[in-house]
């Protein structure tokens, strides 16, 4: 498991935890759902897209975060991209969606479907 003292890979707002609990309750099957798997993949006009799926098991290297009676499994390949992210869930007049408040996200496309994520080490040093 990857960890930095005092920094969670992902934290959950009350709204995100409630929605994850709802998804898990609706995902009953032969194999119980372990949690919501969150990851990133290359795609979209900004370069990367967030991914979600119901996870029935964790893979080697995945980060398991349980908070507020909700479990998120962060895909091992996404841990460094999501480090320090707060996962929220918002509903407005036209949509309901998970929202990533990701300190590693440097931009997003106009349609909001993809993002550009740069790890701290990849960013240019700040001018003094």
Q: pLDDT tens digits, residue range 59-115?
A: 999 999 999 999 999 999 988 888 888 999 999 888 888 988 888 766 555 555 555
- State pTM to two decimals: 0.76
Q: Which strands make up the sheet holding 96-101, listed edge to edge?
A: 10-12, 85-91, 96-101
Domains of the chain listed by start with CATH number: 10-122 (2.60.300.12)
């Amino acid at each position: 498991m990857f960890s930095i003292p005092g920094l969670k890979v992902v934290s959950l707002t009350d709204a995100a935890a409630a929605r994850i609990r709802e998804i898990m309750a609706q995902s009953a099957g032969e194999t119980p759902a372990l949690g919501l798997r969150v990851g990133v993949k290359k795609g979209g006009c900004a370069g990367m897209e967030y991914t979600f799926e119901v996870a029935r098991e964790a893979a080697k290297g995945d980060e398991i975060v349980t908070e507020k009676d909700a479990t998120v499994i962060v895909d091992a390949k996404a841990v460094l991209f999501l480090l320090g992210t707060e996962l929220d869930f918002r509903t407005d007049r036209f949509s309901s969606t998970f929202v990533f408040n990701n300190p590693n996200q440097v931009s997003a496309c106009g349609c909001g479907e993809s993002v550009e994520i740069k790890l701290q080490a990849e960013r240019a040093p700040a001018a003094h």
